[in-house]
Amino acid sequence: MKPISARLLHANSTNSGQLGQSSEGTSKLFVYGTLLLDDVISTLIDRIPHREDATLPGWWVARLPHKVYPGLVPGQGETRGKVFTDLTGAEWAILDAFEDPAYALTAVRVMLPVETEAFAYRWDGKYVNQGWSITDFSRDELADYLDRCRRWRRLYEQRSQ
């Protein structure tokens, strides 16, 4: 996986999900799955970033085979989520390192309520044709997932020294 700075140069500015030219000028990140949860994001970057409610048309949040976290895939309808508006370069690097290699950072157009550009981690792997539920995840998987996030963050810090 390329580091965030290199990957940003290849993200486009449409909902097409295709890689293209740079989308300079935006540092917003649209989140739709586990990163919506304060416990998860604060475990990873040591704070809860400023965020705004957002809607992403033309995408949906799918269950992934053998994974507890979801993937964002093109499709009918819209996805509700949040946009982080104040991530630092170091925080982008942490999130980029954390995300599964099957995600591709993609520029998308979100409604905040006005349309604006943000990046999102799009899933490029196989998925189940069924929606993912943050309620079910929080009830059934969150405690174990937070333990995994804590272990991952410790390893990340050790490797970064």
Query: Where does residue 34 fall: left (phi above 0), alpha (psi -120 to 50 degrees), or beta otherwise?
Result: alpha
Identify the three-state secondary structure at position 14.
Answer: coil
Measured at the alpha carbon of residue 102, what is the angle toward residues 47 and 91, in degrees to the nearest 5?
20
Q: Which residues contact 96 (CB under 8 A, 6 or more apart)?
A: 1, 3, 4, 7, 105
Residues labelled as active-site residues? 99
DSSP lists the bridge partners of residue 108 as 118
The end-to-end CA distance of the chain, in Å, is 20
State how far the Cα of 43 lies from the Cα of 142, in Å rounded to an integer. 12
